Chains A and B, each alone.
Chain A
């Protein structure tokens, strides 16, 4: 080998080397670029990774949220189901309640019909009561007229007989005629009493404040005019009452006449009238020291025509106390009596303790 050859060879080798070096440098540069690129990509990847982590977390969070929501929905679903159930129950209850209401409405209709019926019945009863009252009125008129007319004739002709033929009759004849007259007279009193009794049933009452002491005085002077007696009668400062003056006077006239009559056989007849206030009631009493009565017959005292004594013992029609009871009942009061045979009797009556200003007259 020559030198040239060798130099060529060297040159070529040099060239090769420089080429290689260039190539290497290029490669190096490329590598740097690639490296940079890799670094960049790395960084990017890192970023993406971080982003992914975040996205992942977000997804996880969203997942959790979704699960929560699902759980919530499940709960809400259950709740809805429960509410549905409740609503169905309520609906069923409403159906029942509705039926109950319908039933009640039917019942009410029935009751309304019944009420109308009972109103009609009441009307009918009132009508009948009115008719009966009218019957009673015409009856009492007939009694007073038709029974009194023959009585008047009996009495009148007996009087004529006595006047015109008195000289012809012997003592027995006159006694018998006297019997006719006294019985006719008694029947007249009986009819009058009965009429008073029936009239009281129909008559309304007019209430006012009544001074009882004054009323008793009036009743007493009325009695003293028609009856002679030696009874000592005591009363003082009686409570005033709100009542019908005339009717109450009738009550006291009856009770006092009775007391006088049944105490008349005593040596010193004593009669006391008292009053007291008790539980919203005024209680008045008339006591005597007369023959009294057996308490086992007390319930008979106030009945019409009921008597505890014979006419020979004590005369009377048996209507007086019935009248007393009727008057007191019309005042919403009560009557009762206490007594003992031979030890006197006390007759009581009660009246509501009314306020004079609040009275309503019938």
Chain B
């Protein structure tokens, strides 16, 4: 596994949440090769090597995708549907991030093929723990798709 291997793709429009998540990963020593993209359209371009990611090696796939559901323009569900209906990307584990378990889209996310979801807790400590556990689980326990 080379240094350029993408391990975590974080798709999150809120810069605060993204910063806190990245910090939490770093605290859990799993911050290497994390890519943060700020919207769905950018994520799709990244995964399929189009637009500003034209020419990227699309076989360098992330081991796990953390996907915020509520994003402007292309929202999380749309990104999820695109990932899970494409042969190239459908085996990548996708963990949906949401602000509340009240979210009506959680069920929808599962039906689209989401592998897991986490409610972002208000408490940072909890958040850090959830994000770290999650990172460990998908990066270490799960065999990434080849």
Contacts and interface: CB of A to CB of B under 8 A. Distances in A.
Interface string A144-155: 111011111101
Nearest to A164: B23
A192 to B, nearest CB: 9
A333 interface: no
Given A137-B104, A141-B104, A156-B20, A149 B99 contact: yes
B1 interface: no
Contacts of A152: 16-17, 20, 99, 120-122, 124, 127
A145 B125 CA distance: 19
Contacts of A316: none
Contacts of B98: 145
Interface residues of A, number: 24
A188 B100 CA distance: 11
A148 B16 contact: no
B20 A195 contact: no
Interface residues of B, number: 20
Contacts of A156: 16, 19-20, 23, 124, 127
B104 to A, nearest CB: 7
Interface string A186-204: 0110000001000100000
A122 B17 CA distance: 46
A141 B100 contact: yes
Given A148-B122, A152-B124, A199 B102 contact: yes
B100 to A, nearest CB: 3
Given A152-B120, A155-B122, A195 B127 contact: no
A156 B16 CA distance: 9
Interface of A: 137, 140-141, 144-146, 148-153, 155-160, 184-185, 187-188, 195, 199
Given A141-B100, A144-B102, A152-B99, 13 more contacts: A141-B104, A144-B103, A145-B98, A149-B14, A151-B122, A152-B17, A152-B122, A156-B127, A157-B16, A159-B125, A160-B23, A184-B122, A188-B122
8 contacts: A144-B100, A149-B17, A149-B99, A151-B122, A152-B120, A153-B20, A159-B125, A188-B123
